[in-house]
């Protein structure tokens, strides 16, 4: 069974193995947990059979107007089971007091976010890390 939680303080570096598939410079386990601890809000999914974290989404925010969702990750073996949808649904529910919630994503994931009434806009980004295959 998959259980959902929003208490990022319960996460530690051991919980975040197996994510960031294909990233040219994936964050270290310590950086992953620090990112989530420092986030405005986190939703994560756990397989209750293994007690393993299998997906998460985080938000950074000013707490008044805007939030940005930098990361949404579901472990490859758990994709296609509705976990990503449930994580985003829960996060948007928590952020509904804000004026806006922004996401930047690859073209092939745009339809996924479209399910939540998100619309396409033009985005600009700056990255200091080594470039990945998509050029960012
Ligand atoms: C994107 C991601 C989080 C979706 O999680 P998931 O648990 O597999 O999503 P769901 O099972 O809720 O899928 C919902 C729908 O979106 C579609 N979908 C999911 N990921 C997709 C992708 N990368 N491209 C196209 N469609 C996708 C699924 O086919 C599914 O459609 P269906 O219900 O009609 O079958 C997951 O594929 C993932 O972790 N990908 C790698 C990281 C990533 O790309 N994150 C997004 C960063 S912006």
Ligand 1 neighbours (beta carbon < 6 A): 72-74, 79-85, 103, 105, 108-109, 112
Q: How confident is the model at residue 24 (pLDDT cuts 50, 70, 90)?
A: confident
Q: Which atom of ligand 1 is nearest to the CA of 80?
A: 11
pTM: 0.93
Residue to substitute in 112, 115, 118 for testing ligand 1 pocket (most ligand atoms within 8 angstroms of CB): 112
Name which residue sits closest to atom 28 of ligand 1, judged by CA. 80
Q: Which atom of ligand 1 is nearest to the CA of 104?
A: 48
| Rounded alpha-carbon distances, angstroms, from residue 5 to 55, 99, 110 | 11, 24, 25
pLDDT band at residue 135 using 50, 70 and 90 as cut-offs: low
């Amino acid at each position: 069974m998959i259980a959902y939680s929003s208490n990022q303080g319960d996460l530690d570096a051991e919980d975040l193995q197996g994510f960031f598939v294909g990233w040219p410079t994936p964050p270290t386990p310590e950086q992953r947990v620090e990112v989530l601890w420092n986030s405005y809000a986190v939703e994560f999914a756990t397989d209750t059979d293994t007690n393993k974290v299998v997906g998460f989404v985080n938000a950074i925010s000013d707490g008044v107007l805007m939030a940005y969702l930098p990361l949404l990750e579901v472990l490859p073996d758990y994709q296609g089971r509705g976990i990503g949808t449930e994580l985003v649904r829960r996060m948007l529910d928590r952020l509904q007091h804000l004026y806006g919630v922004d996401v930047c994503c690859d073209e092939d994931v745009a339809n996924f976010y479209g399910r939540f009434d998100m619309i396409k806009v033009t985005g600009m980004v700056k990255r200091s890390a080594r470039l990945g295959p998509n050029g960012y």
